[in-house]
Structure 1
Amino acid sequence: MEEKRYRHEYKYPLTHGQALIENAKINAVASRDSHTGADGSYQIRSLYFDDYQNSCYMSNENGVDEREKFRIRIYNHSTERITLECKEKYRGMTHKSSSPITLSQCEKLMRGEIPSDITKEQRVLHRLAYLMAVRLMRPAVIVEYERIPYVYRMQDANVRVTFDRKILSGSDVRAFLDERIAGRGILPVGTELMEVKFDSFLPDEIYQILQLEGLKASTFSKYYLCRKFQVRQKR
């Protein structure tokens, strides 16, 4: 079995002014992700799962270090590429594994049904299917946002810096594949989220860019904030 490689991941909530400064500095040393559109961004929409005890949400709220989250992800409203991902956190670091899924499998998962045509290569789907059977894991919330991604690669450095904005929380999981979803913003207007992900070390060039007055790393979780209002409404 392939050894899991965990990455460092730091998150920084930014004001509009901070986002403009950081974006300009990163743009000078890093390249835009090749999958972006003409404006340098793309839209991400994810459908997150949780069990009957809201274990994923509660683990996040309580700061449990070893945890995992499952999500289906699409880009720019397209169903050409649908991916099921499992994001694990261990000792403050993260690991992401994924399996491509078909449109039919996605639609079944959206209804809370376990697909009957899972292949042996779809390991993440096997794991989710098991949890759907024993933990009643079901679709819980849609998280949608616009992302500006940068990639920095030099020698042994592998760094990814992203700026996320217009983050929406959607409760109608049946609308996941719709062109538009009804949702509510989870950040104050003008606020963005910068994420910095890297493997073994952060190059000095990138480290210096992050030295901006008022800039502090956060345990910010888009999933957690999107579910927070939803869960508390049901209590």
Structure 2
Amino acid sequence: MAVKYRHEFKYICNEMELAVIAGRLQRLMKPDKNAGEKGIYNIRSLYFDDYYNTCFQENEAGTDPREKFRIRIYNAATSRITLELKRKERGKTLKQSCPITIEQCQQLMKGTPFSANSQYPPILQKLNYLMQTRRMKPIIIVDYDRTPYVCQDGNVRVTMDRNISSSPYVMDFLNLSIRKRPIMPAGQHILEVKYDEFLPDYIIKNIEISTLRQTAFSKFYLCRIYK
């Protein structure tokens, strides 16, 4: 199956700006079906970095291309645990993923590599190799609440991420609640716009607010700074 890179833009915004954009988008886009009755779900990711902090330094320098590994769960549930590899290249992103078991997740949380096994998915094999050769290990938890909107035209996804927090207590990752601290100033949030080949004009016009500030830094980077 061919891999597909997506455009991805991020903006720092306040609650009023999000409210204005949400009011506009509700007429044009649908809430993500996984968001539940309130249209919100929690995302928790456990990010990895190597002995040299390569991922952090490449993000800071804007290295192209660059990659990051993370384990992700939703609403603190362990029924679905996903290992993801996110690659940034020429302003676009590619996300590849595979499911992992609770036992595999717990071993990765400890920073303990697996024995080589060709039956593992390629992403898990690659992470396992880096854990053995570059001392890759879990380094930071990123936790936030997401309000997502989707549109079939252009495969557009607009997300509003609030309560962005970090936690260095990686062994708490699967707990129902974790120790964490906010990493954005009070009232600041992140808006993300993702799409494939094109972004429809009617969506562009409704997310345009002159006060929005585009940012190149990821949540991973911000959480590493303020952990």
Partners of 2:183 and 2:226 within 8 A in 1: no
Cα shift at 1:120: 3.0
**CA positional deviation for 1:121:** 5.5
CA–CA distance in structure 2, aligned partners of residues 65 and 27 of structure 1: 35
Q: Are residues 1:79 and 2:50 paired?
A: no
Amino acid at match of 1:82: I
What's the TM-score, normalizing by structure 2?
0.96
Unaligned runs of 5+ in 2: none
The answer (yes or no) to whether the contact 1:40–1:148 under 8 Å persists in 2 is yes
| Residue segments in structure 1 that go unaligned for 5+ positions in a row | 231-235
Is the 2:166–2:226 Cα contact (8 Å) retained in structure 1? no
Match status 1:101 vs 2:97: no
Could you say which residue in structure 2 is the equivalent of 1:149?
148
Q: Match of 1:178? A: 175
Amino acid at match of 1:26: L
Amino acid at match of 1:187: M
1:88-119 Cα shifts (integer Å, max 9, x gaps):
00011100000100000000000011234856
Give, in angstroms, the shift of residue 60 of structure 1. Answer: 0.5
Contact in 2 for aligned 1:118/1:125 (Cα 8 Å): no
SS of aligned partner of 2:127: helix
Change in CA separation of 1:203 and 1:173 when aligned onto 2, cut-off 3 Å: same
How far apart are the structure 2 equivalents of 1:180 and 1:162?
Answer: 23
RMSD: 1.3
2:9 is the alignment partner of 1:10: yes
| Aligned residue pairs, count | 227
Deviation at 1:3, TM superposition (A): 3.2
Aligned to 2:123: 124
What residue is the counterpart of 1:51 in the other structure? Answer: 50
Distance 1:119 1:43, change over 3 A: farther
Q: Are 1:217 and 2:214 counterparts? A: yes
Q: Give how far 1:183 is off.
A: 1.0
Take 1:203 and 1:137, find their aligned partners in 2: how far apart are those partners? 40
